[in-house]
Structure 1
C-alpha cells in the first residue's frame, strides 16, 4: 500500500506539529500529511476537496467537538478512518461506539501511532478486496438520488471524467459514477478506447471522426457516436492512435 494520506485536526498548533513529526518517523506503513485543520469547519472543507485515508482527530475543540465531527465523517460516501488523539481518556468507550479505529492519549508515542496506522492499513485492505474486470456481461453499480442502479457495461457509449466523478452515457440516459477513470480503465473490456485523458469511448459506437472547434482546445478532431447528438473531443495525442484503432 502507498503512504496513507492523513488529515490532522487539532486546535493546538503545537499538537499538530508533534503529530506531523511523529508521522514522518513512521514507515510501516508510511504516512503523509495531506492537510491540517484547527476545527471541524476547516476539516470538512478539506475532506470535501480531497480524499483522506485517515483523520487524526482531537476531541475537545472550540465549536463542533471531535466526536460530532467523527459522526459527520462516518456518513460520507467514502468515509476516512478516524483515530482519536486526545488528552482525555474518558471518551474511549464512546469513540469505539462510533467505529473509531483507535484511541490515542497525549503525549503520543511513535510506536503507538505506528500501531494505529497498521490498523488503518489492514482495515483498508479488507474493505478494498480485489476488483473484478468488467466484462461485457457485467454491470456498473451506480448510486444516485437515494437509489441503486445496475447499468450493463455493454450499453455504455462513453465514460468521461468530470471533477471528482465520472459521467456514464448510454443511448437512453446519463449517470454519475463515483470512481477514478484511470482505475476504471484497467477493468474495462478492450472494446473501450481512450480518446482523451478524460474520456473513454466504446469503439463500436463511433460513427465518424470529424473536424470540430472547441472553445477550450480550439480546432481539432471529435467523434460522433451512435444514438446521441453529442460529440466528444479527441486530444491531439490520441488522434493517430484512434485512426489506427478504427482501421483508417
Structure 2
C-alpha cells in the first residue's frame, strides 16, 4: 500500500513586480515549507484568488495598484478561515499598520532565505491556532497605579538591519520627539522610529504620560521626581543612564496624581 504524501500548506504571492515574485517563489521552493499555488500582481487579483481557493499563507507587498496589501489583509478578516499573512515590502514605515492587522511578520526587502524561513515557520505555527491565540499587536501587562481598566501595551515594530524588531511597550523607558520621527529609549539603547510622538502616545496610551510636548514617559520606569530651580519638575528615569526628562508646569500636577503622590 502506498503511503500518502502530506500536502504542504498552500501559499499565494502578491507583488506587482515580476522579478520580486520570481525571487520569492524561488526562495519558497528551495525552503520547501509551502507550495506556491498562486500569484497575483495587485490587490484586486489577490482578492479574486483568495475567494476561489483556501490559502494557508499569503505573502503581500504593501504598495500595489488595485488595492494595497494592507487593504487586502483587512479584507481577509471576513474569510471563514483566515490565512496567515507575511508582508514583504521595501517600505518599513507601514509596519505598525501591518501588525495592527495581526500579520505574522513584516519583512523589509532585501531579506535572505533564513529570514524568510523563520517568518514562514512562525506563520505556519499559528495557522490552526484559535483566533485568540494568534499573533496580535498587543499583550497584557499590569496596570499603572491610579488608573483603572488600562489597555494592554502595544508592541512597537522597529526596522533594524533589514528586519523588523518588535519592541515591547513595557521595555520603553521614554520616547522623545525628533522632527517627525521619535526616539525610543530602552534600558541601554536608543532606537529611531518613523512615526511621531503623537502616534506613539495613541498606541501606548494609559501606561505612558506626556510630560512635555517633546517627551512621553513610561510611568513604570519613573525613579525620582526632582523640583528644578524654576519650580517645575524633572523626572529621573530608571534606565542605565538615569536620564532626566523635563516636565512642563501644566503637566506636573497630573503627573503627581498619576503616580499617587
Q: TM-score, normalised by structure 2?
A: 0.46
More strand by share: 1
Q: TM-score, normalised by structure 1?
A: 0.49
